[in-house]
Structure 1
């Protein structure tokens, strides 16, 4: 949580338009939002400033979303239990299963509507909508 009581969400996606879209939705829903371009940057940001939720894409350069989740969950730190919502264009059942095995709490197929994104973020952050 931020000092003003907002749940903090880290959006991890290499597409700037996706990050902007998610930021707009989440800030309107009352969340504080930070961004990272890939899994490596996300781990660095979380070590400096933990988040209440991570929303992560699967396909990214340098470190993809599933590798990021595995690395996050392997840490012997409190941030290892940070809830994670995976969003991807990959829609096959095995894609959701792979995300779950990597440590995702939930999997959404893009495009994600504003209502669905805000509702899942609130649920995973444990805040009322």
Structure 2
């Protein structure tokens, strides 16, 4: 069985490296994008099993990226895990309203990230 693929979209290189390290250790193949526009372009070129999307990014924030994914038939069915420093209930609701499937607050614990990725992709531990 082939490994599930994840696109980590975050403007912080340290966060992208964190996602890569944790998710590769959990058995995923990980690619990266530095903002929402780049993330959408990558998702349209390559089929991913999961998108890990930061909320606060330049050029296009995570809310808008997820909204555009949900409006695009080619991307609509890809699960999205949003990650943010914002932890107010309104921020969480805004992410779910945009179309996110799951929301984690930074700093993300590695085991929580891996468990959410497995859950959203239907992967076994």
TM-score, normalized by the shorter chain, greater than 0.5: yes
1:76 Cα deviation from its structure 2 partner: 2.3
Q: Does 1:37 align with 2:34?
A: yes
Task: Give RMSD over aligned pairs.
Answer: 0.8
Task: Quote the residue 1:27 is aligned against.
Answer: 24
Q: Which runs of 4 or more aligned residues in structure 1 lie more than 2 Å from their structure 2 counterparts after TM superposition?
A: none
Q: Does 1:59 align with 2:56?
A: yes
Q: Does 1:126 align with 2:122?
A: yes
Structure 2 residue matching 1:80: 3-state secondary structure: coil
Task: Quote the residue 2:97 is aligned against.
Answer: 101
Q: Output the CA distance in 2 between the equivalents of 1:14 and 1:50.
A: 21
Count of aligned pairs between the two proteins:
125
Q: Output the CA distance in 1 between the equivalents of 2:82 and 2:45.
A: 22
Q: TM-score, normalised by structure 1?
A: 0.95
Q: TM-score, normalised by structure 2?
A: 0.98
Q: Which runs of 5+ in 2 are unaligned?
A: none
